[in-house]
Structure formats: structure tokens, C-alpha cells
Chains A and B, each alone.
Chain A
Amino acid sequence: MISLALASIRARLFPILLVILALTSSMALLLAVDRIKVATQNGFNQSLSGVDLVLGPRGSGIELMLYTVFHLGKPTNNITAETFKDIAQDPKIEWAVPIALGDSHRGYRVISTTNEYFERIKFAGDQTLQFSEGVAFKELNEVVIGSAVADALGYTVGTSMFVTHGSGALGELHDDFAFQVTGVLAPTGTPTDQAVFVSLEGYELIHLGWTNGSQAISLKSLDILKIPKERLYPQTITAAYLGLSSRLGLFQVARSINEYSEEAVSAIIPGVALTELWSIVGSVDSAFKLLNWLIIGIGIIAMVTMTMTALESRTREMTILRALGATPLHLSSIILAEITLISGVSVVLAVGLVRLLTWVSIDLMSEWAGIRIELIWITMNELLVLGLIVLAGLIASLIPAGMVYQRSLHQGFSS
């Protein structure tokens, strides 16, 4: 039956190729979207480890996660350094790393923080940040850059750079104070790769003389060495990462921070906020998946319609085969074999296409979106999904196969 089905497919190659194209692209789209989603989810989940709580201004926990961890959106409010210090003194809190956000460098977000950031913040489970080149900043004018920043801008240890005020491309340049790269972080596959790190004091320094978002006094007119060190500690910070001495006290510490009476602050548990985030993204994902399945459904309908339309012109072929002793079941099997072959070829092509696209775009996706997609052939789950699609195609093909069966059962030969 297979050889006859193959010969029949060869004879109707063009329309069948179009159906294969439709099925292949829709299945490839389904696979690609799912892989991007999984890679994004992994990227998000692996972006921050070792942090028990994120302290920030009271508001949306998801928003706080987005702008602190994923560098998406802008901080809406700050918290005072005084509050941060007060909370950090809690004996249940083992360590606290403050961060202040707002500025950028050629589109990459600048994170001002302390040296402890590079020791405490982990990613992908329990991996600590490593320097591929140089060391962490020590001085006011020193900066550490993520691997993607170094690759994209061609920066290396010793490169001088200025920071732009604000996160937009049109922000004013802090061109009165140059930073020098002292370290380049090894790739992590997380938003860290796309960040520029300066010390809190260095960050405060470049904002001295700034009022209402514009520069009033240039640093060039000041003797930086004479500025008292305590004057350079920021009055406010954007957020802080907290590590507890025991995770048993997690909810207790979170509650006490959320009930902090001196300032409207809150503490979020990263895992909980991520779950909330995925529940929102999940509905978009479901809608997209539904759309995808609809496209696949249309592909299957096109395949069955094509087969049914061709049946009329194949009446003679079926009659000849019946005359040769083919049973109605034989004839239905030819139709089923054809559809199985079309679906099978589409599945193989879809898997190949997705692998090819992944191979081509793997670096681009990592640099552009910070998403690391694995270069794999197929997962068990994907195989199951594609198997379901083939099965759906086969079930749908029972309609034309049944038509052939019924017709050949009741129809005699006539010349």
C-alpha cells in the first residue's frame, strides 16, 4: 500500500507540497513558540538565585521583580537608605545588597550596588557570578560590565565610558565623569549579561549637582577627593536583595517588612512573584497556543479536503484496484497511508526546520533577548504533541477513507 500511496503522492506533488508546507510551518511555529517560552521561563527562573526576599517600595510585587531582576520597565518609587539600613539590621537577615537604578549606558541598564552583589547574587540554581576578565569595582570610577555588553560594544578591561542620565537614548550624558572597566562578567544567560555595574558611591557622585533631572553644577568644577565619603552614600535606593540566616523565618521577615510603619515598603519572595508573573503570561501563552492549534487544525482540514477533492478524479483508479482484487479496506488503507506519509514528512520537516532556525538564531536570541534556546532535536513532550497531530490527521482522514470504503463496497464496475 505504501508504494502505491507514494506513487499517488508523486503524481499530485504540487498541491501536496503546499499542504506539507502549511502543516510544516504550523507545527514548526508551535514547536518554536513552546521552546522560546520554555527558554524564557528557564531564563526568568534562573535569573536570580540565593535571594530570599526583594525589598522595595510598596506596590506591585511583579513590577518590582521586573525592574530589579529583569531590567524591564522603570522603578516607580525609591526607598530611603535609612529604612534599608534599619531593616537590614534585623538579626534574621544575614546579608543585604542594595541597588539603585535609573541610568543607562548605550541602552544597557546601569545598576549601582555594592561589591557584595558579585558574591551574593547567584543564577541557574547555585552558580556564582564569575569574572571572565578583571575584577570587581573598588574605586568610584570603576565599572563592571556583563558579557553581552562587552561583546556588543567591544569593551574590555581598561575601556573608558560615560553613563547616560535616565534609561532613554536621548538622556543627557554624565560626561563630566568617566568610568573605567575593571571587570567583565562571564556569560550567565540572564539579564546580568546585559547590565553595567557601578558602585553606589560612584553612582551618587555623578548625580551630585543634579536637580530635577538636569545638571546644575559640573563635577569638573569640584574637587572630588575632598567630597566626604558619607556624602556619597545615596539618600535613597531602588531596592535591595536580602538573604536570611534561616529560610524558616522567611514569611515572618516578609510580614514584618510589609508591616514596617516608618515607610511604605514591601518584601517579595522571588519564587512567588515569578509564579504570579507566569500566571499572567500563561493566559497570553494559552491564547497563542490556541491560535497555533487552530492553524494546525486548518492545515489538517486542508489535507483532508485535498484528499476528498481528489477522490472524484481518482474514482477510476479505485475501480481498477477493485477489479484487481483490492478490498474496500485496501483502498481505505491507501488513503490512510497517503495521509500518514504527508503528516509524517511534515513532522520531520518541522523538527528539522526548528532545529535549523534555532541553530541560526541561537546567538541572536541570546544577545537580543537574553534567551538561551537549547539546540536539541526533539523532546519527549514535543514528540507526544507531534504524535497527537499525526493522530488527529489520521482520525480526520477516516472521513475520506470511509467514503472510499463505502463507495467501493456498493459500486460495481462500469466502463
Chain B
Amino acid sequence: MILETHQLTYQYPSGKTLYFPDVQLRAGEKILIIGPSGSGKSTFLNLLSGVLPNQDGSIRLNGHNYEAQTRQQLDQLRADHVGIIFQSFNLIPYLSGFENAKLSLRFSEERRTNVSDIRASITRLAEGLGLTSEILAKKPEAMSIGQQQRIAVIRALLGKPALILADEPTSALDPVATEQFMTELARSIDPSEQAVIVVSHNPILTPLFDRVVQIGEAA
């Protein structure tokens, strides 16, 4: 089991409390977290990535219980086991595509050891996603949104983290590009060691996933 959550709740400073459904994710699985705006999708993602402290309930990632970790250990856990893709502005503007992709290894020794040849690994992932070495050499400002999202995917996948979290990764793409992007993402992961969670408000993505988890019941 890659990820297991149990009775997760989160209370905002305003007092509003969110109750999240339990999630079990096995290697090779792709699940879609769906819900309307303000339903707590991003909060759920922040809890899973260990950026927000777990207030109540439990999260277990690759055998590590979040409740037993310090904040620093949670940051390390994220560096080692989680690859994150945002909706947009995924890249650091002053670094090239290649340098942006390589960034994921900077904070994780474990992911570094999984990559014997950084350049070859990035190039292989890039080719799988239809990116040339010329695009990798470009700064984000010279890339299309789709190319930037693909670089973000390379960064998330490099070093083979167990969990790929993507927050509305296709919201800036048209339906054809969306389907192509999701297909390429699914093809790029190692089904024996990795799993994917995509958060979206768009139900059109549903057929592309193994399961759908609905979020949106606020108390």
C-alpha cells in the first residue's frame, strides 16, 4: 500500500471543519479527487503532502505515519516520496527546463540514488512526453503552457517517488491536450512502485482514472 488515510479532518482558524473520505492507494493506481471549488481539495492535497500539519485522523505514506513525524521529517518525506504538479506556474522562471526538472533531486538523497545518470533520465522522460532537448534548454517564458506542464511532470517523476500528486494539472489545457497529458502521465509512471492522485473540479476526467473520490461535505 502506497497511501492510506483514516478519518482525516481539518479545522480552519475560522472554525470551519472539513471531513475527508478515507483513501487507500496501491501501486499502479490512479485516483481522481473531485469536488466543487472551496470543498477542500487543495487542503486535502496539502495534508497528503505533509505541508499542513495533520490535526486529526491518520496518514500513512509508504510505511511512514505522518503523526510520528516532525515538520522537518515531513518535509524530507515529501522530498523522498512525493512528486507534486501544480495547476500552472510550475517552473522557476530563471532556470531552464532541464534545471527545473533536476530540482527534485536537490532535497532528496533517496531520489538521487534512484537516478544513475541525471541527464539520461531527464532526456528519457522528456522523450516519453514529447519534449526535445531544445525545449529542455529553454527558460519557462519561452515554452508553451503544455510544455511547462510536461517539465513539471518530469520533475515530479524523476527519482521515482511513490506518490504523484497533481492539483488541477490540466485546467490550462484544452480537452484534446488534457487527454493526451493524462495518458502520457499514466504511461510515464512505474505501476509497480508509483501511484497517482489528481485533484480536479472537472468530472470530464473521470474515465481516465481507476477510481474517483468525491470531496465536498462540509460541516
- Please list the residues of chain A having a beta carbon within 8 angstroms of any beta carbon in chain B: 4, 7-8, 10-11, 316-317, 319-327, 330, 409, 411-415
Given the interface contacts A323-B86, A413-B167, does A8 sit within 8 Å of B94 by beta carbon?
yes
A325 in contact with B92 (CB, 8 Å): no
User: Nearest CB to that of A316 among chain B residues?
Assistant: B89
B107 in contact with A326 (CB, 8 Å): yes
B208 to chain A, nearest CB (A): 19
Interface string of B57-82 (1 = CB under 8 A from A): 00000000000000110011011101
Residues in chain A near residue B45, CB distance under 8 A: 413
Residues in chain A near residue B76, CB distance under 8 A: 325
User: Nearest CB to that of B81 among chain A residues?
Assistant: A325
A415's contact among B49, B86, B106, by CB below 8 Å, is which?
B86
Q: At the interface, yes or no: B39 with Cβ under 8 Å from chain A?
A: no
A322 in contact with B106 (CB, 8 Å): no
Given contacts A412-B43, A412-B46, 18 further A-B pairs with CB under 8 A are: A4-B106, A7-B94, A10-B94, A317-B92, A317-B93, A319-B86, A320-B91, A320-B103, A322-B75, A325-B107, A326-B79, A327-B71, A409-B71, A412-B42, A412-B52, A413-B45, A414-B42, A415-B88
Residues in chain B near residue A327, CB distance under 8 A: 71-72, 75
17 A-B pairs (CB sep. < 8 Å): A7-B99, A316-B89, A317-B92, A319-B86, A320-B91, A321-B103, A322-B75, A323-B49, A324-B78, A324-B106, A325-B107, A326-B79, A327-B72, A409-B71, A412-B42, A413-B42, A413-B84
Rounded to whole angstroms, the CA-CA distance of A8 and B92 in the bound complex is: 9
Residues in chain A near residue B43, CB distance under 8 A: 412
B107's contact among A8, A10, A324, by CB below 8 Å, is which?
A324
B118 to chain A, nearest CB (A): 14
A373 to chain B, nearest CB (A): 42
Given the interface contacts A11-B93, A316-B89, A415-B88, does A324 sit within 8 Å of B103 by beta carbon?
yes
A323 in contact with B84 (CB, 8 Å): yes
Residues in chain A near residue B168, CB distance under 8 A: 415
Rounded to whole angstroms, the CA-CA distance of A254 and B75 in the bound complex is: 79
Residues in chain A near residue B87, CB distance under 8 A: 415
User: Quick one: which of A4, A327, A330 has the most chain B CB within 10 A?
Assistant: A327
B94 in contact with A412 (CB, 8 Å): no
